[in-house]
Structure 1
Amino acid sequence: MDIETCLDSRIIHIKSDIELIDVKGQFISLAAPIRLTGQLRLTDDLRQILACIDNEVEKLTLQIGVDEAGRGPLLGSVNVAAAILPSAWSGLIEMQTLVNTPLSILTDSKQLSEKKRDKLYPLVQQNALGYVVAEIPAAVIDQINILQATMLGMRLCTEALLVAVAEQIANDTSSTSYNLQAQVLFDGNRCPELDYLKLSSFGISESSIDCQAWVKGDARHTSIAAASILAKVSRDQTMYHLDSLHPQYSIAKHKGYPTRVHMEAIKMYGVLPEHRRSFAPVRRVLENK
């Protein structure tokens, strides 16, 4: 993972193209790279979380929300995002923890208009203590299936944030021991299996990670909702780029979902490299050529 530090603003940029993944000790070569992008902002709030007392063990607690966008479309990537909000902003949406903050309108991205999502997207980036977005391309979805691709994206985003935090602890503190406690909230009904061997090399133990699955979590918890905005808008941006390259497919209108217009375009113009060939509607078109 490439980590760059901007000294003026104290922002650690997270950038990585993942081509190999370790699954229970076996390395798998991916059909296409998974791109991770994000940052960790070294604010006073984050520094309070990271603060250690010399020669003592102090618990450090992080709350990370994780969500995805784009599991259903026939075209393009599935995007996953993880976000750490300021501690005072991280909590149940119904408790109105975001009142009088720049993210006051934040909720499940599916309940917001595109205009509101686009407004929130830079605000989440600017105000989150840290975030990572993973773009898992169609070739990887076809290789390992959409569920596993989504779980892999959730795993990689979570690990990238945890590693960035752990490295910052090592850089910022003189304590020889610390106990980083992390609560990771995944939208949905299951949690990915993290690479705890890798995390242990950064001083993060399996027992210190509390992974929780939250059904409809993007409408329940602010951190998951923040991640949902990052995942949804980043994917939409990719769809708009594809639309500019292939205007005859009207991608900007359907975002890759199996609408009538999309299916007619596939039959008329063919299957694009970005189409998910393992999905039945696309597979049938290919079989009938």
Structure 2
Amino acid sequence: MPHTENHILQIKRSIEQIDIKGQYINLASPIYLSGQFNITELLAQYSNNIAQGDAGSALQIGVDEAGRGPLLGSVNVASAILPRAWSGLIEEQPLKDTPLSILTDSKQLSEKKRDTLYPLVQQYALGFIIADIPAAVIDQVNILQATMLGMRLCTEMLLEAIAAHLGTPMLKVEVLFDGNRCPELNYARLEGLGIKESMIDCQAWVKGDARHTSIAAASILAKVSRDTTMYTLDAQHPEYGIAKHKGYPTKAHLEAIETYGVLPAHRRSFAPVRKALGN
């Protein structure tokens, strides 16, 4: 795919308030979202379907998270749209002979391979968003709700970009979430943007990052972006050994908390951190 003349839309947003089930919440700390959208390629691959009213060919968005289990740092969520011909079941090998041929569940790949894939996914994706949901928000709403919130925001931001550039009515969109549940999207807001609820098919895929290329792409973006923030924290607090444990509750991490105390980036609602704080 030629990438020289593509119109790339850069997306950066900081969210300090959020509407959850009709209630506005002031977030304890901002959620940062960043990504990009390849308008030229998206139009090239999907505008004909819209013109012909072809609802049988859905655009697929994969969504995954990294960092639900750690005691430290953000949970990162990503959504990704792969090129049409590359989007499908991993076992059917739609990525064979493409630059993403080694892509699968990020947990099955070495860190070196994940680091190789990270810029490639960003280069070839038609669109992607990465959300960083900080520890303060995890403590505010709990880890499940923080993850669902990240999944919702990543999805809505891509849908918004699609509607703005493909126009409405747009083609059917399948949103494939890794895990056993889908977040509740803000359909009232999406309707206001011309995106009908009937056009969005949300699907929960258990172990989806090992089953579908779009979810696997999102898993790479979420995992590598989270690891990058962990290395930054490690440089600031080398005594905690964060580069090794990435914030997970290993013996070394628990001993470091006991010796050096709780960092601002620790999740205070998680039991081992609560215990260290004497709560």
Query: What TM-score, normalized by structure 2, do the two folds share?
Result: 0.95
One-letter identity of the residue aligned with 1:207:
S
Q: Is there any run of 5+ residues in structure 2 with no aligned partner, and where?
A: none
Corresponding position of 1:27 = 24
Q: Name 2:98's counterpart in structure 1.
A: 101
Q: 1:133 to 1:44 in 2, by over 3 A?
A: closer
Q: Of residues 67, 70, 77 in structure 2, which corresponds to 1:70?
A: 67
Q: Percent identity?
A: 70
Aligned position for 2:33: 36
CA contact (8 A) 1:94 1:220 kept: yes
Residue 89 of structure 1: which of 86, 90, 115 is its match? 86
Q: Report the secondary structure of 1:253's partner residue.
A: helix
Aligned equivalents of 1:148 and 1:24: distance in 2?
A: 12
SS of the residue corresponding to residue 13 of structure 1 reads strand
Amino acid at match of 1:250: G
Q: Does the alignment pair 1:180 with 2:171?
A: yes
CA–CA distance in 1 between the matches of 2:258 and 2:17? 34
Determine which of 110, 114, 135 is the counterpart of 2:111: 114
Is 1:190 the counterpart of 2:187 in the alignment?
no
How many Å apart are 1:180 and its aligned residue? Answer: 2.8
3-state SS of 1:74 partner: coil
Once the two structures are superposed, what CA deviation does each residue of 1:141-179 show, in whole Å capped at 9, x if it has no partner? 000000000000000000000001111124xxxxxx524
- The separation in 1 between residues aligned to 2:47 and 2:193, in whole angstroms, is 15
Matched, 1:254 2:245: yes
Q: Partner of 1:43: helix, strand, or coil? A: helix
Alignment of 1:283 onto 2:274: yes
Amino acid at match of 1:86: P
> Runs of 5+ in structure 1 lacking a partner?
1-6, 171-176
Equivalent position amino acid for 2:259 in 1? M
Structure 1 counterpart SS, 2:204: strand
TM-score, L = length of structure 1: 0.91
Aligned residue among 129, 132, 137 for 1:135: 132
Partner AA of 1:101 in structure 2:
T
